[in-house]
Amino acid sequence: MKKELLVAALSRSRASFSKGWYKFSRNPLSVLGLIILFSVILTAIFAPYISPYPEHAGAFTNFRESGLPPSLTHFFGTDSVGRDIFSRVIFGYRFSLVLAVVVLSLAMPSGIILGLIAGYYRRRWIEIVIMRITDIFLAVPPLVLALAITVMLSPNLFNQMMAISLMWWPWYCRLVYSLTTSLRHEYFVREAELTGASKAHILLREILPNCVAPVLTKMTLDAGFVITVGASLSFIGLGVQPPRPGLGTMVADGAKRLPAEWWMAVFPALAIVIVILSFNLVGDGLRDMFAVEEV
Amino acid sequence: MSEEILTVENLKKYFVTKQGTVRAVDKVSFSVKQGETCGLVGESGSGKTTIAHTLVGIYEPTEGRALFKGQNISKVFNQRPKALKKEIRIVFQDPGSSLNPRRSIKQILELPLKVHRICNDSDRVERVMELLRMVELPPEDYMYKSPQVIGGGEKQMVAIARALAPNPSFLVLDEPTSALDVSVQAKIINLLMQLQQNLNLTYLFITHDLSLMRNITNRVVIMYLGKISEVAPTVEFFQNPFHPYTKMLLSSIPTVSDEEENFKPKEVISRGEIASPVNVPSGCSFHLRCPQKMEICSRADPTVVEVEADHLVRCHLFSDGRKPT
Amino acid sequence: MTPLLEIKNLQVRFKIYEGELKVLNGVDMVIGEGEKVGLVGETGCGKTTTVKSVLRVLPTPPARISGGEILYRGKDILKMKPAQIRSLRKGEMSAIFQDPLAALNPVFTVGHQLYDVIKYSSASRGRKRLSKKEIRARSIAVLKETGMPDSERILSNYPIQLSGGMRQRVCISEALSASARLLMADEPTTNLDVTIQAQILRQLSELVAKKKSSILLISHSLGVVRNLTERVYIMYAGNMVEVARTKDLFADPLHPYTKALLKSVPKLTGEGISRGIRGRIPNYLNPPAGCRFHPRCDHMMPICEKERPAFFTGGDSDNHKVACFLCRR
């Protein structure tokens, strides 16, 4: 009997998955975004095996081959010290993606929990404290804040990640807060309260699952933005430090050689554009997937 | 059917808003007897839902109190003892919003069982299945479904099962069928009546549908703008309505047969609209719409008088306790 | 009576992930000139889809009109060009919906919205344009006709400032300001209190009589339809199952669905509550073959599973038609 129930439950979750995929895949661009994103992630993970010159990711020099334009041996050309830009872009993705993952996994949970608490205890001191702090963070331009923090500490990838995380949680706090303030008046929340369920149950089991869709969508879009911010900081030398290959650092180095040796800046820049674009397309697809259909 | 299980005494609930004080419930007293179905009827803005929400502890009364089995229950939910939460349960009007769309029906029904420690972990699934069978939903088909994929009537059945989960003795039914089709309503009402008999439940049934009241309640309380206009045993109430507002309500009901049409009081034609509870008319709050308005009505608020046994009216026409000739 | 609107074998389908919903399954309906017709059915039976098809406001896709004709004074609406349909909607047909707050634009005053409606509907008839003053005077007049108290003041109010009943009155005056020949009222009083419902229905019926318009009153409530209409259609799961003069239908319902529906309505005379109708409205992905009501019907016969019943004449009148094999002679 129990087994049958479990099988029924499983088949239902499979059905809802394929329905989700149906809605996601209505927009071919989202599927394209997903494909690009997956290949970027895979290349980043398997960078040492995929890139043609894995040793070029470090402090490698070969001045004989410096400044070569794109060719079959060097798809994206080589940089001023003769390193293969294609290989370095692949390794650069590693830093960008790690940055996105770390920042979001720090900023999102803290923002969500603070937002839940502030939204549920609306018009109490705890809401006022949390939301005013959030407002202060939101009032300062994020890039400037991250910049200041990174400079204050020492400029490296770890500090950059901490700085961006610190400026990113208020966005999730704000989003979840506004969702929670409306959800807490829903009758299912009332019912749980009247039954006598614990606050933890109400926040985590009743309200949070209803925030998942917008938060996931925002997360996907944000991953792109985080990468942009990270690249911008690297561009001004406050992120991945040479000789390690940060995408922003590479654009910065290449920019000095424009326009003659254009490939040094253009290809890393394109790499950034592609990953952000694919995150955005996937985000759009997720939004369509979670949208409630009307019939 | 004898002792009073719930007594509401001079209950007041005011809400302070920017527009002014909303007098949602204003000095309401009534009682519900063990095992009966008491109907609370009124149009939107009459305060009937506010009473329901105060009884289950969503609001704290501004003044007055409610007694349940002799115990004062005029407290909000987080100050109520668990045993009380188990005894008084509510079924909300909109089943779409009262069931969490992100939880399965099994999870929804398990919550009250877990909170009130009704049964141990191994028996819980059995109890959930029993509850579903009680509301005539085959457990195998429904347990793992999300409320999003079932019909409105079925959702309300699940909400009823959830209300019954901790074995309550008193159910507040806040317009449980007003969002549903009549054929579904009939099913749910039948089920509720059957459950009442089997489980010895007492109902406070809130609705705007007088025809429905006629068929299921023992007693009817009519409210207008936060105050009671008339209280009477159901049969007496429908055969011999006193208050002009009651007559207006009855004569406004759309009917489906000539017998019903003949049953309605003819003389009152509906006019005007219910006033805003922020700006309650002086004197009797109904006087602006009342066809039998007298000079005193705009000045003084009438008090509740017992015109016949158990038949209470709040109207100047009956102020001396007798029917007008 | 000459037919004003004639729906013949209308079929509408909706495409969704799981497949195609066969919602309207050959709907037939006639509304005569100046006639008051009711359409009763439960949630999800296709009432609103029918109205939207007539107004040509169904979103396509996901919807698709896969067959049938909708003749308005002999011309097929489904074959008209957008401009023709627009002019029909301007001056000939209008509709009132269940939720007046959604039908009114929240950022414009009532006066502004009425002004637009009157201006454009009068322009379409080739008459000379009305001056601002004339339009204002007409706005007040149409509001007064619906029993709106204080109509001059209401003109400068926003919809949010009005009560539900007043909003619906504004919608009715918008719909009738164009002196429409056909008014389709889709659950116009469902969200209102009974006392307000009684007022609105009374005024609606007086207005329609005065303007000699036809009305199609759509409701899930049998009582509402009984008091206002001359003829009633009963709809179930995308099919018309019974049509008769209102008096005949309520005195002598013939289709098992109509009977069960009438029994489910709680009566003021207090006859208890029936058990309702067993089962639920079918899934439109795979609707039952034959008569769509057969899985829920107490009088099911073998033929009901195979063939779709045509309209048979039943009862005492030739106008009483029932789509049920029980009435085949």
CA distance C276 to A270: 66
The range of the structural domain enclosing residue C31 comes to 3-253+308-319
Q: Mean of the per-residue pLDDT values for chain A?
A: 87
Reported as a single tens digit per residue, the pLDDT across A143-164 is 888 888 888 888 788 888 888 8
Of the candidates B152, B249, B263, which has its C-beta nearest C269's C-beta?
A: B263
Residues from chain C that touch B212, judged by Cβ atoms under 8 A, are 266, 273
Of the candidates C14, C17, C62, which has its C-beta nearest A23's C-beta?
A: C17
Position A241 confidence tier, pLDDT thresholds 50, 70, 90: confident
pLDDT score recorded for residue B95: 84
Count CB atoms within 10 A of the CB of residue B18.
Answer: 4
Q: Which residue bears the tokens 């909303």? A: B22
Considering only alpha carbons, which residue of chain B is nearest residue A10? Answer: B144
The ranges assigned to domains in chain A are 26-52+74-107+140-176+211-290
- Which of C:16-75 have CB within 8 Å of A? 16-18, 21, 62
Which residues are bridge partners to B22 per DSSP? Answer: B15
Q: Does A20 touch chain B (CB under 8 A)?
A: no
pLDDT score recorded for residue A292: 63
Question: What Rg, from alpha-carbon coordinates, does chain B have?
Answer: 21
pLDDT score recorded for residue C104: 87
Q: How many angstroms from the chain centroid is the CA of residue B119? A: 30
CA distance B250 to B211: 9
Min CA distance, A135 vs chain B (Å)?
26
Cβ distance B226 to B234 under 8 Å?
A: no
- The number of folded domains in chain C is 1
Q: Mean of the per-residue pLDDT values for chain C?
A: 86
CATH of the domain at C13: 3.40.50.300
- Which of B:260-299 have CB within 8 Å of A? none
Q: Which helix (H) or strand (E) holds B88?
A: strand B88-91
What's phi and psi for B207, nearest 5 deg? -160, 165
pLDDT score recorded for residue B1: 44
C156 has a pLDDT exceeding 60: yes
Position B232 confidence tier, pLDDT thresholds 50, 70, 90: very high
Cβ distance C5 to C70 under 8 Å?
A: yes
Reported as a single tens digit per residue, the pLDDT across B65-119 is 999 998 999 888 888 888 899 999 999 988 888 999 888 899 999 999 999 988 8
Of the candidates A187, A197, A210, which has its C-beta nearest B111's C-beta?
A: A197
> 3-state class of B61 per DSSP?
coil
pLDDT score recorded for residue C125: 54
Residue A76 makes CB contacts below 8 A (sequence gap 6+) with A70, A84, A85, A86, A89, A263, A267
Considering only alpha carbons, which residue of chain A is nearest residue C44? Answer: A295
Average pLDDT for B292-307? 88
Q: Does C19 touch chain B (CB under 8 A)?
A: no
> What proportion of chain C, given as a percentage, has pLDDT over 70?
98
pLDDT score recorded for residue A295: 41
Position B324 confidence tier, pLDDT thresholds 50, 70, 90: low
Q: How many angstroms from the chain centroid is the CA of residue A14? A: 27
Long-range contacts of A128-132 (CB under 8 A, 24+ apart): A130/A173, A130/A177, A131/A173, A131/A177
Q: Does A293 touch chain C (CB under 8 A)?
A: yes
> 3-state class of B31 per DSSP?
strand
CA distance C147 to C171: 13
Q: Does C37 touch chain B (CB under 8 A)?
A: no
Q: Which residue has the higher pLDDT, A294 or C72?
A: C72
Cβ distance B158 to B148 under 8 Å?
A: no
Reported as a single tens digit per residue, the pLDDT across C6-46 is 999 999 998 887 788 888 988 999 999 889 999 999 888 88
pLDDT score recorded for residue B157: 93
What's phi and psi for B233, nearest 5 deg? -60, 145
- CB spacing of B102 vs A210 below 8 angstroms: yes
Q: How many angstroms from the chain centroid is the CA of residue B194? A: 18
Burial of A42 (0-12, 13-18, 19+ CB in 10 A): exposed
- Longest pairwise C-alpha distance within chain C: 67
Which residues are bridge partners to B30 per DSSP? Answer: B8
Position A12 confidence tier, pLDDT thresholds 50, 70, 90: low
CA distance C95 to C84: 17
Q: Which residue bears the tokens 């005379």? A: C269
Position A204 confidence tier, pLDDT thresholds 50, 70, 90: very high
- CB spacing of B99 vs A188 below 8 angstroms: yes
- CB spacing of C198 vs B270 below 8 angstroms: yes
Residues from chain C that touch A295, judged by Cβ atoms under 8 A, are 14, 16, 21, 62
pLDDT score recorded for residue A261: 84
- Which of A:15-34 have CB within 8 Å of C? 19, 22-23
CA distance A98 to A80: 26
The ranges assigned to domains in chain B are 1-99+168-325
Q: Does A15 touch chain B (CB under 8 A)?
A: no
Considering only alpha carbons, which residue of chain C is nearest residue B193? Answer: C273
pLDDT score recorded for residue A294: 45
A15 has a pLDDT exceeding 80: no
Least confident of B28-32, B115-119, B169-173, C252-256: B115-119
Average pLDDT for C293-305? 89
Residue C309 makes CB contacts below 8 A (sequence gap 6+) with C290, C291, C323, C324, C325, C328
Residues from chain C that touch B252, judged by Cβ atoms under 8 A, are 194-195, 197-198
Which one, of B100, B312, B102, lies nearest residue B222 by Cα? B312
Least confident of A41-55, A67-81, A251-265, C112-126: C112-126
pLDDT score recorded for residue A111: 94
CA distance B156 to B98: 9
- CB spacing of B102 vs A190 below 8 angstroms: no
Cβ burial B175-184 (10 Å sphere, 16+ → b, else e): bbbebbbbbb
CATH classification code of B1-99+168-325: 3.40.50.300
Residue C100's alpha-carbon distances to B309, C43, C45, C95, C104, in angstroms, are 44, 19, 22, 11, 6
> 3-state class of B83 per DSSP?
helix
Cβ distance B159 to B128 under 8 Å?
A: no
Residues from chain A that touch B100, judged by Cβ atoms under 8 A, are 188, 206, 209-210
Residues from chain B that touch A206, judged by Cβ atoms under 8 A, are 100, 103
Which one, of B89, B87, B82, lies nearest residue B115 by Cα? B82
Of the candidates C222, C227, C280, which has its C-beta nearest B151's C-beta?
A: C280
- CB spacing of B140 vs A8 below 8 angstroms: yes
Which residues are bridge partners to B171 per DSSP? Answer: B89, B203
Count CB atoms within 10 A of the CB of residue B97.
Answer: 17
Which one, of B229, B231, B185, B260, lies nearest residue B46 by Cα? B229
Residues from chain B that touch A209, judged by Cβ atoms under 8 A, are 100, 102-103
